[in-house]
């Protein structure tokens, strides 16, 4: 196996992993959305991020299909992961929304780095054509991560206001 082929193997595996990450994001957001209704801005943004994650997962699906990977197996994985994530629904603790936002910021940082890795692997595999799609997803993750980080103080204010109501 030559270096480019070996890099392609690593790249395809990376695309599959990122597809699983996006699928997890979709399930987690679905699960958390009902508890974010007291925070309308956050709720709207998370809803948009849910739709974006579906698009991002579809982009990864398309890239895998382009390189000859089977799509149907991935679709099955989607359903399975969402069901698993939904199983973690608990009664909401008071500060759970804040904890979820912190987790989401960490998750976005992970996704930004994952896309950076995939972009590097695309180059090494001779798949530079894939880069613009991956860069688009990375930009979206960055935008969401920045939005969450910059709005964190207002979520804390909202939480305090709710507590004293």
Question: Closest CB to Fe ion among 28 and 56?
Answer: 56
Question: Closest CB to Fe ion among 118 and 122?
Answer: 118
Say how many residues touch Fe ion, by CB under 5 A: 4
Given the structure tokens 């925070």, which residue do they identify?
Answer: 39
Decide: residue 23, CB within 10 A, 0-12 exposed, 13-18 middle, 19+ buried. buried
Q: Which of 18, 24, 28, 56 is close enough to bind Fe ion by CB under 5 A?
A: 56
What is the spatial distance between Cα 121 and Cα 40, in angstroms, rounded to a whole number?
39
Question: Closest CB to Fe ion among 53 and 100?
Answer: 53
Q: Which of 53, 81, 100, 114 is close enough to bind Fe ion by CB under 5 A?
A: 53
Contact 138, 21 (CB under 8 A): no
Residue 97, sorted as left (phi over 0), alpha (psi -120 to 50) or beta, turns out to be alpha
Site string for Fe ion, 72-101 (x = CB under 5 A): ------------------------------
Question: Closest CB to Fe ion among 5 and 75?
Answer: 75
Q: Return phi, psi of residue 136, to 5°.
A: -60, -45
Asked if 23 is part of the footprint of Fe ion (rule: CB under 5 A), the reply reads no
Contact footprint for Fe ion (CB under 5 A): 22, 53, 56, 111
């Amino acid at each position: 196996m030559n270096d480019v082929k070996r890099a392609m193997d690593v790249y395809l595996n990376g695309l599959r992993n990122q597809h699983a990450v996006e699928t997890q994001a979709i399930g987690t957001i679905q699960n958390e959305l009902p508890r974010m209704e007291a925070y309308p801005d956050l709720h709207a943004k998370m809803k948009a991020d849910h739709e974006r994650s579906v698009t991002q997962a579809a982009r990864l699906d398309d890239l895998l299909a382009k390189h000859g990977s089977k799509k149907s197996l991935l679709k099955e994985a989607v359903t399975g992961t969402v069901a698993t994530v939904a199983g973690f629904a608990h009664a909401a603790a008071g500060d759970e929304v804040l904890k979820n936002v912190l987790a989401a910021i960490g998750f976005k940082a992970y996704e930004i780095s994952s896309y950076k890795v995939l972009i590097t692997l695309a180059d090494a595999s001779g798949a530079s054509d894939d880069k613009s799609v991956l860069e688009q997803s990375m930009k979206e993750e960055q935008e969401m991560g920045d939005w969450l980080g910059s709005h964190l103080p207002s979520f804390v204010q909202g939480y305090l206001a709710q507590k004293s109501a």
